[in-house]
């Protein structure tokens, strides 16, 4: 089971710099730990996060081991037009989650 | 005259016997804590801030999952929780009454066990392990509906024996270290035990997100840790002993409100 939380403030005026917050369930297993049988627990982390507004990249993060489980990321974004925000998380074991949110400028 | 007196004395004696034999709960059992604090009070400022953040509290990821499961109607012919119970907000207040005596089962049930009941008897699913992600998520979401409400468990003829069992367990020494719950959670509340600041041992934030677990865990998981910490044999998840203890803890936390999902170190 994987799920994400995304918070976008509202209302938004043109030119506002808004903070977008994201949170996702993920074990972020470092690959440096051993199980009770002495076997290495394979690395299983999110390696990349992207947020796009249409085709334009808004924010991108490359993640590494040593980040706590269920990573929280927040970033700022200047809104100049209505757009569809696309959030993607990718990682080990073909991990992939995509979420979409509409940004609407209020008058 | 003498015999009349003896007979009436006898009657009186027997009467008081029979009254004592019925296990009525005392109206106001005495509490040992003079000042009651939630576990939140003893956490670091950072952890408190994380719990109080309505977005970033990671326990809310489990609440979200629970909400999805609540209205999940993907299995054909299986009514969702929502179909029978309506919006999950209808569950406000329910968690404050648990554990509760289930007449048809003739035993004390906690909320997770009640949800398991509904899943098995009304949705015809196979029973899930107590600490499974699905039961945890549903329990967290249902308890979360009562956030801010005080505990309100019933002490009556049926629940009183369980309350007594829970209370006895709380004050009994056990394990290689020969400690009882009250040693850590009443005598030493507020003091450090290795990296932890000891709280009063209330269950009002559970299921809770524990940073050490990197996930949400049930109250029984916490109780198992407390048993293992003093090298005592823990009970199984969902064990009757823990459910009785849960009733005692809920009663003991009467002045506190539900905080689920709490965040703990």
Q: Looking at residue B96, what is its pLDDT?
A: 97
Predicted confidence (pLDDT) at residue B7 exceeds the cutoff of 80: no
Task: Work out the pLDDT band at A1, boundaries 50, 70, 90.
Answer: confident
Chain B contact set for A69 (CB, 8 A): 214-215
pLDDT at B10 over 50: no
> Length of chain A, please?
107
> Looking at residue B168, which CATH number applies to its domain?
1.10.760.10
Question: Which pLDDT belongs to residue A107?
Answer: 72
User: Are the beta carbons of B61 and A1 separated by less than 8 Å?
Assistant: no
Express as a percent the part of chain A with pLDDT over 90.
93
Q: Which residues of B touch A3 (CB under 8 A)?
A: 61, 64-65, 68
Residues A12 and B150: their CA atoms lie apart, in Å, by 38
Structural domain harbouring B153: 39-264
Cβ contacts of B17 within 8 Å, gap of 6 or more: none
Q: Residue B253 domain-assigned? A: yes
* Nearest-CA distance B134 → chain A (Å): 9
| Cβ pair B61:A25 closer than 8 A | yes
Q: What is the structure's pLDDT at B21?
A: 41
Q: Is the pLDDT reported for residue A90 higher than 70?
A: yes
A39-75: per-residue pLDDT in tens? 999 999 999 999 999 899 999 999 999 999 999 999 9
Tokens of B126: 């196979």
How does DSSP assign B192-226, residue by residue? EETTEEP-----TT-SEEETTTTEEE-HHHHHHHH
In three-state secondary structure terms, B91 is helix
Indicate the domain borders of chain A. Answer: 4-103
Contacts of A24 in chain B (CB under 8 A): 61
Q: CA of B58 to nearest chain A CA: how many angstroms apart?
A: 7
Q: Which residue of B has its CA nearest to A74?
A: B56
Nearest to B136 by CA among B265, B261, B228, B16: B261
Name the H helices within chain B.
2-21, 45-52, 59-70, 81-85, 111-117, 133-144, 160-170, 181-182, 219-229, 240-252
Average pLDDT, chain B: 90
Say yes or no to pLDDT of B122 above 50.
Answer: yes
Q: CA nearest B179: which of B111, B106, B229, B234?
A: B229
B75 token code pair: 């299995």
pTM given for the model:
0.90
Query: Is B68 close to A25, i.e. CB distance below 8 A?
Result: no
Question: Hey, what CATH class is A4-103 in?
Answer: mainly beta
Element (H, E) at B88: none
User: Does A23 score more than 90 pLDDT?
Assistant: yes
Please say if the pLDDT value at position B17 is more than 50: no
User: Does residue B9 surpass a pLDDT of 70?
Assistant: no
**Whole-number Å distance between alpha carbons of A102 and A82:** 8
Contacting residues of A for B65, CB less than 8 Å apart: 1, 3, 25
Percentage of chain A exceeding pLDDT 70? 100
Q: What is the pLDDT of residue A71?
A: 96
Shortest Cα distance from B131 to chain A (angstroms)? 15
Query: What local confidence, expressed as pLDDT, does residue B166 receive?
Result: 96
Of the candidates B114, B134, B144, B117, which has an alpha carbon nearest to the alpha carbon of residue B207? B144
Residue B11 has pLDDT above 50, yes or no: no
Q: Which of A6-15, B3-12, B100-109 has the lowest mean pLDDT?
A: B3-12
Q: What is the mean pLDDT of residues B144-160?
A: 95
Q: Which of B10, B14, B84, B226 is catalytic?
A: B226
Tell me: pLDDT of A77 over 50: yes
Which one-letter DSSP state was computed for residue A78? E
How much is the ipTM here? 0.87
Higher pLDDT: B6 or A24? It is A24
In this predicted structure, the answer to whether residue B114 has a pLDDT above a threshold of 50 is yes
Question: Residue B33 pLDDT more than 90?
Answer: no
| The pair of three-digit structure tokens given for residue A20, joined into one six-digit string | 């977008």
Taking only the tens place, the pLDDT of each residue in B48-103 is 999 999 999 999 999 999 999 999 999 899 999 999 999 999 999 999 999 999 99
Q: What is the mean pLDDT of chain A?
A: 95
Q: What is the pLDDT of residues B191-239, one digit of tens each?
A: 999 999 999 999 999 999 999 999 999 999 999 999 999 999 999 999 9
pLDDT score, position B31? 64
Is-catalytic flag, B226?
yes
DSSP lists the bridge partners of residue A49 as A61, A89
- No. of helices (H) and no. of strands (E), chain A: 0, 7
Residues composing chain B: 265
Show the beta-strand stretches assigned E in chain B: 100-102, 107-109, 192-193, 196-197, 208-210, 215-217, 263-264
Confidence of residue B34 (pLDDT cuts 50, 70, 90): confident
Count: domains in chain B: 1
* Chain A residue with Cα closest to B69: A1
For residue A71, the distance in angstroms to the closest alpha carbon of chain B comes to 9
């Amino acid at each position: 089971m994987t799920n994400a939380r995304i918070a976008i403030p509202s209302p938004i005026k043109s030119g506002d710099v808004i903070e977008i917050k994201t949170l996702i369930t993920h074990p972020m297993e470092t690959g440096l730990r051993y199980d009770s049988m002495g076997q290495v627990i394979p690395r299983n982390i999110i390696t990349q996060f992207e947020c796009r507004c249409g085709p334009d990249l808004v924010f991108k993060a490359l993640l590494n081991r040593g980040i706590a489980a269920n990573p929280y990321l927040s970033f700022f974004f200047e809104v100049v037009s209505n757009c569809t925000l696309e959030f993607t998380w990718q990682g080990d074991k073909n991990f992939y989650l995509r979420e979409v949110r509409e940004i609407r400028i209020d008058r | 005259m003498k015999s009349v007196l003896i007979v009436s004395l006898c009657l009186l004696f027997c009467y008081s016997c029979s009254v004592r034999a019925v296990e009525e709960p005392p109206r106001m059992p005495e509490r040992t804590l003079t000042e009651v604090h939630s576990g939140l009070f003893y956490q670091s400022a950072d952890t408190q801030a994380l719990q109080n953040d309505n977005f970033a509290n990671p326990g809310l990821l489990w609440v979200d999952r629970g909400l999805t499961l609540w209205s999940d109607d993907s299995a054909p012919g299986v009514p969702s929780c929502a179909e029978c119970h309506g919006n999950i907000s209808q569950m406000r207040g329910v968690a404050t009454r648990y554990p509760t005596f289930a007449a048809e089962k003739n035993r004390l049930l906690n909320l997770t066990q009640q949800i398991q009941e509904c899943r098995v008897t009304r949705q015809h699913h196979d029973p899930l392990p107590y600490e499974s992600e699905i039961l945890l998520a549903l329990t967290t979401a249902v308890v979360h509906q009562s956030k801010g409400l005080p505990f309100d468990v019933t002490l009556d003829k049926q629940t009183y024996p369980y309350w007594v069992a829970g209370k006895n367990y709380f004050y009994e020494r056990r394990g290689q270290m020969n400690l009882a719950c009250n040693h850590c959670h009443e005598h030493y509340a507020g003091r450090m035990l290795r990296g932890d600041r000891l709280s009063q041992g209330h269950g009002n934030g559970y299921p809770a997100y524990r940073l050490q677990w990197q996930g949400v865990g049930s109250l029984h998981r916490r109780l198992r840790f407390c048993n293992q910490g003093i090298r005592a044999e823990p009970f199984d998840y969902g064990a009757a002993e823990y459910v009785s203890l849960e009733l005692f803890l809920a009663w003991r936390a009467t002045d506190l409100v539900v905080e689920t999902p709490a965040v703990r170190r």
